[in-house]
Structure 1
Amino acid sequence: MIYFDNSATTQISPEALTTYNTVSQKIWGNPSSLHNLGETAWNLLQQSRKQIADLFSVQPGEIVFTSGGSEGDNWVIKGTALAKQQFGKHIITSSVEHAAVRNSLHQLEELGFDVTYLPVDGEGRVDPAAVQEAIRPDTIMVSIMAVNNEIGTVQPIKEIGKILNNYPRIHFMVDAVQAIGKGLDDVVFSDRVDFATFSGHKFHAPRGTGFVYKKNGRQLMPLVNGGGQEQGLRGGTENTPGDAAMAKAIRLMKEKETVTVQREREVKQRIMDHLKDFPHVKVFSKNDAGFAPHILCFAIVGVRGETVVHAFEDQGIYLSTTSACSSKKDTETSTLSAMKVPQNIAECAVRVSLGDQNTLAEAEQFNQTFDELYAGFKKILD
């Protein structure tokens, strides 16, 4: 089996799984309890929080545990709206955001908020000047993803941050789910970013784990009210085993990040070099600094994406159409549509998303399989 769908989810690492099982069995007290079992669990939770904070050079109090990226996106967007609605109801975002951001904003629009959806260029990138142009006196938030989950575009977060330095009261949120472990920490944690969201299952942590980076001093209303957990920002008994396992997964990921990024770039390039020779193939991603190392989106024009996905699956190679969150829905591909790619081409798009375990040998096997499948598809393309 060759697994090229790491942007959808990753397999939990053996080390993270061991941590999860050990904590579940031995440190199972409620961190809010006053007795020794609770104190032990509380200390482990804080140790996990500090480990993550240290790895990203932020403060432990700026790390808030969640259940994943979608919760983080919903919370920061709606929490900002609730906290700042007396100052304004205008939010700026891009036209290529993840569904968790997009649908949260649609819900706010139904409640009377005004959202500006910025266009993107032919590479799926927002123009920072468009952000400047869109800012109004009643703007309370700008939300731009770090890495596009469909074609891998790295957004100009630093440049947008420089613009927002002139507007200190506007919250700046970055969906960083696809950026973690990809050599992009300087983008995600640039000085002007107020919030960044992360999902554990994208980097070999258990599903149902994640965290939000919340800059000290930024106001945010809770989305889940409860017993005062997570500094009163997210109620509910903490997922101590999951959070400890996530901290372990992040540490392991960071230890080999440089090697992983280099290998992903090499694997991606090997496939791209092969695809460029086929007349019916359209490649949407690039492999320079403007694109993440792990995402490659292409289309065999004339063959629907789901047909290509299942054809590779029959050969033991797993990829996806575009975003796994919407691949089973009969909807337009949001990023490619925003890039003005014709719908008949966009519906043919598939995504290869790499991880730290993928190799050049797998790229060669992919290319060989592609040749065989393309020969079969060519009968309907010519």
Structure 2
Amino acid sequence: MTFVSPARTRRATSSARSDAAIWTRGLTKSYGTRRAVDHLDLQVPRGALSGFVGPNGAGKSSTLRMLLGLIRPSAGRGYVLGRPIGRPDRYLHRVGAMIEGPTFHPGLSARRSLEQLATLRGLGGSGGSARARRTRRVEEVLAQVGLAERADDRFHTYSLGMKQRLGIAAALLPRPSLLILDEPTNGLDPAGIREIRTLLGQLAAGGMTVFVSSHLLTEVEQICDHLVMINAGRMLFQGHVTDLLAAEDPRIHLVPEHDEDARRLAGMINGVGLPVELDLRLGVPDAAGPSTHQPVVTVHGPESLAADLNRMAMGAGISLRSLRTHRPNLEETFLRVTGEIDGDLVSANQLRTVPDGSVPPAGVGLDPAHSRGGAT
């Protein structure tokens, strides 16, 4: 039995807090009998572009509000930029945030809105040159979010995407070390989403920590290198996006040229110990001609097996109409982890045939030799 001194534990905890932009332990928020956030342990690394995802009502907004000092936790503790969340006055000057969409006076221009906000926040210090410093900072953030040419237009004339960018500009005014954004692409068209995606990537590339909640999982997958996934206020996953996807269920789909070869091919693959499914369902022909659906043999294994499977089919005299690999994306993974689809649909532990196939269950998982491409 190894004894770890309390002093060493405290030093390790202190180091973890200082290394993370956001660090919490047991963070909890209850509203009456409903627990919106349930003992959440966050550790968002500094300099990361981190996605914060979860179904509606998962507790994302409550978590962000606690981190910003807008509401008090019911239990637990947390640190933002190394400072306790119970003292937001010690870190908020280094944090930029946009929660639940930007709101500005509709009759004011973007430039005037930001100038007033900079004055209220006391940016630029005091003295005769303070106003000049604030003006320069306003011009910098307007250019940074691509609104310099529309800076004198009134807020009510802005598109939704421009309003979102102005909200991010306001969050950037204090030159934050940490930027927290709640659904910054909500309601945007594809062009607006691309604009925000590019902007966030540029900010993170400049060394800023960006923590962004979103329900657009394809966007999170494209731009974020770190991910926090919660459901019902509880942590489901935290870490690099690639680590989550690598742990999922990669598949290889094979379609024989001749339908009658599908069962034989599935049996051969099953015989070498690879989890395999055989789908024999045929679509109903229509007036335009026969069904375009062919039997599909699905092998649960890494992409590296594709060449070996192709050689196996060729060796048995089976020609393939198609062979393609499928790596689960974040959306599929999210649906599985949150339990919003039937888990049996993504299980690779047992061979499934439809309708009445006779190929026996594999009974074993993917053999390590085969995972290195050793199928023959």
Superposition TM-score, scaled by structure 2 size: 0.24
Greater strand share, 1 or 2? 2
Q: Which has the larger radius of gyration?
A: 2
Q: Of the two structures, which has the highest relative contact order with CA contacts closer than 8 Å and spacing of 6 or more?
A: 1
Superposition TM-score, scaled by structure 1 size: 0.23
